[in-house]
Structure 1
Amino acid sequence: MKMPTDNYFTNALRPASLHRAEHQIALERCVGKVRKTLPLMGVRNPKIGIDNLKWSYCAPGDWVISFMSGQLWLALQLTGDPVFLNAARARRPAFRDILRNRRSQNHDLGFQFSLSCVADWRMTGAKEAHDMALDAARGLVTRYCPRGRYIQAWNALASQDSTRAKFVAGRMIADTMQNLALLYWAWNETGNADFRDAADGHAETTAQYLIRQDDTSFHTFLFDVVTGEPIRGETHQGFAHDSCWSRGQAWMIHGFAQSARTTGNNVYLDLAKRLARKAEALMGDDDVPVWDFSVSDSNAPRDSSAAAIMAAGIYIIADLSDNEESSRWKSQADRLIGGLLRSCDISGNPESEGLLAHGAAHVTAGYSDTMLPYGDYYFMEALMRSLGHTDFFW
């Protein structure tokens, strides 16, 4: 395995943020927090924060199960310390279980396996991790609906009532743009165009139906299950069907930017830029976005996870842009990181088990102002990107 040098924290691979020193200190603090909490977690994976800045943990197969793994692989990349390798590898059985239980799999296979098995393969060359990631990609591609050209998001399970089954049928969601990375990886590994075609098809359908003409976004879009004909845009975690859920906008900024980086398709880059410009305009003077941009209440919950995802995606845009434009994008991403550092960063709090406060998981269901493992992962990714690192697992 290629281990980083002892002074890896100071070896930026691309031009770094103007706030380099502050961001480097914050990143080192995050790595220290991840190291400190490992004995508390064992092989458990955080799901959402509870009282006193502690974690509750994932049930088997939870969509957020890989974000702790992602942090561990980033920490290993930064330090070379095998304690992070061992902790990440110890989680592999949880991902084997997901592959065994096909009925529980959904569009989140990309999240689950990019940050676990693809990461393992890229960092260590472990064949089992490679094979598991390919198996997951095969499962994800089977969810592609050719008539509508989208990846079906959720499953209608036998244990659910008919209302839920009707809700999930024929539905795509903004989050899936981030999951396409697993399909592009599988295409690059195998040369099998089915993976690329499904990813491109879903991305193009996302651009056509989830992005409105004013560059705001729907969270979900519904299609006729039989014909694939488009029906309407809706929300699931946002404020209203015609509102703009900030984390959905962030998922697509990062997803299109990463897809552009992987494929070289500048159409995807232009879409990421449009979405990012709109998010900046909707934020106004805020440094951390409100959970839904259509909510005008100044006391409404903020979403630190949306800020972290957005920042990481905008740093990708900056890397794919030239000169003055790149600097402009870095400034926007730096602003988001600055907001997180000022008002959400709890990595230095000895009582906290996570990195960021004020995450909004699902506000209308009562889950806001909390720690979120995906917010923590993207915070580390964004800080690394701000320092010039470009080698990630997407």
Structure 2
Amino acid sequence: MLTATLSHSAPTPALATPHSRQAVLERAVERVRSTSRIFGLRNPQIGSAEKGWEYCNPFDWVISFYAGQLWLAYQFNGEPGLANLARARQADLNLLLSNLAAQDHDLGFIFSLNCVADWKLTGSQTARQMALRAAEALRARFRPAGGYIQAWNAHGTSDTARSKFVAGRIIADTMQNLALLYWAHEETGTPDFKTIADAHAETTRRHLIRDDGTSFHTFVFDATTGAPLRGETHQGYAHDSCWARGQAWLVHGFAQSFRTTGNPAYLDAARQVAAKAEELMGDDAVPLWDFRLPADAPQHLDSSAGAILSAGLFILADMTSGDEKIRWRAFAERLLNGLIETCDLTQIEGAQGLLDYGAAHVRRGSVRNMLPYGDYYFMEALMRSLGHSRFCW
């Protein structure tokens, strides 16, 4: 039974101090520890504070976000059992490596969060080799004619409608997956990993980011010639709206790509998209699921967008200086404080996740969810706010 309730309103929160954020992080780590006894080797996919979690199939794109939380918790307290629980989940990742049809652009999420984290924190050669194999598979999804990594797959050769939908399509989320390619380049020196990541980042910058700093969720190219066709949405309100989580993926992805490469175009892209999010949020501390909603549209919060955006802004702050650094850190802290004030489940006895009010897919009716990626980025943002600097990307 839950012993407290959360309000749907998202006022500008009271200032959370480093001391209070430390306390929230400690509660989050304890929640990750305690839920491991419930999960076993299952991985949370989507849930609610009242009903708990539904779990992933072996090829789900979110399969490694709980492992990512385990590695963050291990980094925080050094408890070997947490590392063992994360590493035990790598057996499912080996299944994915042997199933080409199940592989898509989310290989970057799946293997960075578990295998790259394992390699960086423990030096596991097994994890390193798995991550390099995944990077090779992600590299193979590059389409030279258009200069992009294709996001999704058809569900079999007979699925003609799906084949038409996925062909030539990129999405904002892929910017976060590029970290695996950049890491593979650093590890091996193989130029193609970086060349392909850079090409996709440049294509994303040119076609997903609009001139005013808002973004498309997806963009479609002619699958044969690579000619750019049109921007669309998949999870946002409309093709010409601005899906909040997509905007957040772009901030985090471009900020970390700049940190890795030093390419000033990536820094400018992160700045542009972050500034537009700041403008469109006004005084809000938790973003709505889309930044361009008509007044009569569903006004659901998306805590996962807030967590991803906050974590990305902390990276952006670290990459800048002076007043600009202060600006991005203040925005990151406002978002983090908003999550603590409005969405924090670590204070709710009986809840199994970290954040309430995640909007998985509003157009399909998935609102007010617990989401493992929201929980992961909440922990990442908390740790970045407190000066931690070792992450899987």
TM-score using structure 1 length: 0.94
- 2:40 maps to what in 1? 42
Q: Distance in 2 between matches of 1:90 and 1:152?
A: 30
Q: How does 1:1-394 map to 2 (within 5 A)?
A: 19-50=17-48, 52-158=50-156, 161-297=159-295, 300-394=299-393
Cα deviation, residue 124, structure 1: 0.8
- 1:10 maps to what in 2? none
Q: Distance in 2 between matches of 1:137 and 1:303?
A: 30
Contact 1:49 1:370 in 2 (8 A): yes
Cα deviation, residue 198, structure 1: 0.5
Cα deviation, residue 157, structure 1: 2.2
**How many aligned residue pairs are there?**
378
| 3-state SS of paired residue (2:170) | strand
CA-to-aligned-CA distance 1:257-282 (integer Å, 9 cap, x gap): 01011111222111101100100111
Opposite residue 153 of structure 1, the aligned amino acid is: A
Opposite residue 303 of structure 2, the aligned amino acid is: S
Contact 2:208 2:215 in 1 (8 A): yes
Cα deviation, residue 159, structure 1: 6.7
Contact 1:315 1:386 in 2 (8 A): yes
Q: Distance in 2 between matches of 1:160 and 1:340?
A: 44
Contact 1:53 1:354 in 2 (8 A): no
Cα deviation, residue 19, structure 1: 2.4
Q: Distance in 2 between matches of 1:175 and 1:156?
A: 18
- 2:10 maps to what in 1? none
Contact 2:48 2:368 in 1 (8 A): no
Contact 1:173 1:219 in 2 (8 A): yes
Q: Which consecutive residues of structure 1, in runs of 5 or more, have no partner in the other structure? A: 1-16
| 3-state SS of paired residue (1:107) | coil
Q: Distance in 2 between matches of 1:160 and 1:91?
A: 32
CA-to-aligned-CA distance 1:262-313 (integer Å, 9 cap, x gap): 1112221111011001001111121111101111448611100000000000
Contact 1:117 1:132 in 2 (8 A): yes
Contact 1:19 1:334 in 2 (8 A): no
Cα deviation, residue 323, structure 1: 2.7
Percent of residue pairs identical: 58
| 3-state SS of paired residue (2:286) | coil
Q: More displaced, 280-289 or 300-309?
A: 280-289
Cα deviation, residue 351, structure 1: 1.3
Q: Distance in 1 between matches of 2:124 and 2:67?
A: 15
Cα deviation, residue 355, structure 1: 0.2
Q: Distance in 2 between matches of 1:111 and 1:380?
A: 16
Q: Distance in 2 between matches of 1:160 and 1:291?
A: 34
CA-to-aligned-CA distance 1:315-365 (integer Å, 9 cap, x gap): 001111113221111100000011101110011211110000000011101
Cα deviation, residue 391, structure 1: 1.2
| 3-state SS of paired residue (2:220) | strand
Opposite residue 273 of structure 2, the aligned amino acid is: L
| 3-state SS of paired residue (1:226) | coil
Contact 1:218 1:243 in 2 (8 A): yes
| 3-state SS of paired residue (2:50) | helix
Opposite residue 165 of structure 1, the aligned amino acid is: S
| 3-state SS of paired residue (1:195) | helix
| 3-state SS of paired residue (1:291) | coil
CA-to-aligned-CA distance 1:137-175 (integer Å, 9 cap, x gap): 000000001110000000012176322211111100000
Q: Distance in 2 between matches of 1:215 and 1:384?
A: 28
Contact 1:235 1:241 in 2 (8 A): yes
| 3-state SS of paired residue (2:329) | helix
CA-to-aligned-CA distance 1:75-126 (integer Å, 9 cap, x gap): 0001001110111111110111110111110000000000010001101111
Q: Distance in 2 between matches of 1:124 and 1:391?
A: 12
Contact 2:48 2:356 in 1 (8 A): no
Opposite residue 109 of structure 2, the aligned amino acid is: F
| 3-state SS of paired residue (1:179) | helix
| 3-state SS of paired residue (2:47) | strand
Q: More displaced, 175-184 or 289-298?
A: 289-298
| 3-state SS of paired residue (2:230) | strand
Contact 1:98 1:104 in 2 (8 A): yes
| 3-state SS of paired residue (1:52) | coil
Do the aligned partners of residues 159 and 34 (structure 1) sit closer, same or farther apart at CA in structure 2, a change above 3 Å counting? farther
Q: Distance in 1 between matches of 2:361 and 2:278?
A: 22
Q: Distance in 2 between matches of 1:180 and 1:218?
A: 18
Opposite residue 347 of structure 2, the aligned amino acid is: G
Contact 1:287 1:335 in 2 (8 A): yes
Cα deviation, residue 51, structure 1: 6.5
Q: Distance in 2 between matches of 1:289 and 1:209?
A: 24
Opposite residue 335 of structure 2, the aligned amino acid is: L
TM-score using structure 2 length: 0.94
| 3-state SS of paired residue (2:223) | coil
Do the aligned partners of residues 281 and 39 (structure 1) sit closer, same or farther apart at CA in structure 2, a change above 3 Å counting? same
